[in-house]
Structure 1
Amino acid sequence: MSKEKELELLEEENESLFEHYRIETDPKQTLVRIDKFLMDRLPNVSRNKVQAGIKDGFVLVDGEEIKPNYKIRPNQLITVSLPEPPRDTDVVPENILLNIVYEDEHLLVVNKDAGMVVHPAYNNWTGTLVNALTFHFQNLPTMENNEGRPGLVHRIDKDTSGLLVIAKTDLAMSGLAKQFLDHSIERTYYALVWGEPKEEEGTINVNLGRSLKDRRVTTAFPEGDFGRHAITHYKVLKNLRYVSLIQCNLETGRTHQIRAHMKYLGHPLFNDGTYGGNKVLKGTQFSKYKSFVDNCFKVIPRQALHAKSLGFVHPATKKFMQFDSELPKDFVEVMEKWDNYVQHH
């Protein structure tokens, strides 16, 4: 394949990315690692963040993906592109009701509804959890390199419901961030997946990264040649012949981790359109059964995933705290429908 054709394909592949930085190296540029070079030139980024961006394919040199240890040379073109267009980090406060489960002077725990985006981003600049937080709380801390996302220590997907811990002070922010970094936070999710896993419980230890074909999708790289280290522990709570209720505990926190890991295992989340779970994957193709499944999709018009419990050491009191939440109405209703279907067919 010619160089021109390769660049053309790369441009097609990156259509959903927006260029943030374009840097041309000097004719007398000395050999230096790309991560070190960018860390010195981009504002508010750490070496880890630069390396992660390189691994995710956001950094190109002369139109080609490279590794973090790549050494740049004279007269090269470096582009840094991201899935959202450049924008200032001002957040508009909005009076949106929050479901606060717990609050003290240092932190709060909220139960997020499905459909609410956690922080402003491309196509979702308003109506997010962060817009609500900045209305209800003043001077929330912001994690380093996380501008425009005050209070956030972690996040869950737009159509995932459940618990999030929010930092109100710098002490809480640093203390909670360290626990996430150390993987000591306890996070339990409930998911309804297609099929019945062969093993009642297990651990998925497979690298995850952005798909090389569609950067909006996270994919598994079992060979470990791409992506980042990701670990999910799962346990089957209920088998319903065509679908199963499973519990997932996250050791790492990669984008779409449970959704991508369960697809890799061959059991995509029920009604997860991004990962192929929004069609009949188990059972017959008879019209009555298909009609039943379609009705279930209408009951829970999103991926069936709920962040059920959260456990951490309080950064100020040093006491271990644990919070649990009820499954939301749509999740309960779809479980009841499957229960009833299996009993009568």
Structure 2
Amino acid sequence: MTIKNFFIEYDAINNDNVFTNGDEIKGRIILETSKEMKIQALVFTAKGKARVVWHEHYGQNQHRVYWANEKYYEVKHHILREARQDGSEVIREGRHVFPFTFKIPDKRIPSSFKSSIGKINHKLKAELKQSMKLTKTTKTYFTFVSKGDMDTAGLLDPQYGCKDKKVKVFGSGTMCLDVHTNKMGYQQGEALQIMAEIRNNTSRSVKPKFTLYEKKSFLAQGRRKLYIQEILKDKAEAVEPSSSTKTVTMTITIPTELPPSILNCAIIKREYRLKVLLDIKYSPDAEVKLPIIILPRTRATKKQEHDHYRQQQQQQPAASYGFEAFGASNYPTWNSTANPAAPPPMDHPPPYEEYPLHPPIYADNL
């Protein structure tokens, strides 16, 4: 066998190994041969695309396939091409390294995504072409997270929703729920503050409940497949019957590992909603839903992380000894960090196949 190894690799630019718009990816194509060989061409390709496909069954032994594709960029570089008169390049025995550089387009491109019926892939591929032989291909994927779109309408505007409800079963009267949030866009790890004003003019008590949930939508050929996943749930104390207006405040911290929203893909969307409801026994709940957009956190490059670590080390005061040192007011407490270290790499969120999926729901008001 002439080709012993053929693979492609790239260098990480931060501890998370995540790239974004405008980043430059540097890597290499590795080719190891056991003897001299001729190559027609060696081609490097970088590609970003989305694909959706699912099956729906109609009656006995009848089904239909719904699918859609969307491409965002495709860049090709000919590492080796027909350099000789016979249309081939001679490669000697041994290990050969072919470096490449690729810049991710700085435009609206959706983040990497993967589920059982849809995916958004960002891929690096190398093709080795030889005369009278099948083309050999190797590929690898990189994680891309789109920059937060700060031009989204209403991103930083306060959000508001209200709902009035009449109670007729096992009670009487009306209640009103007003919900306010400071804005619509939040970064991973940021606090979401909620204020709910409740006027309970009924003969029954009600309990406020708060839920942050995720909507994953897949669209193809005029159809939509929707999955709902609850992220966080909390509740407040019950509001007694026939009481005056009561204001309930709640703070929810957005999980740092929660994937950002995907709103710039025509066939795959990942959206978030905040739902506040008044739980009423034996009666439909009064509920308000507000949109939430999760923005990606800013990731530092390896050089920035290294420079920040060195700066902290230089600012660290020299250790002192004796009774005066132990009595000093600036002595580190148990929660302080005496020897700062570089932040540990953050684990990537689990693939979406691991999340329990609810049956598809086609209601447009979710």
Higher strand share: 2
| Structure with the larger helix share | 1
Larger RCO, structures 1/2 (Cα 8 Å, 6+ apart): 2
Task: Normalising by structure 2, report the TM-score.
Answer: 0.23
Higher radius of gyration, 1 or 2:
2
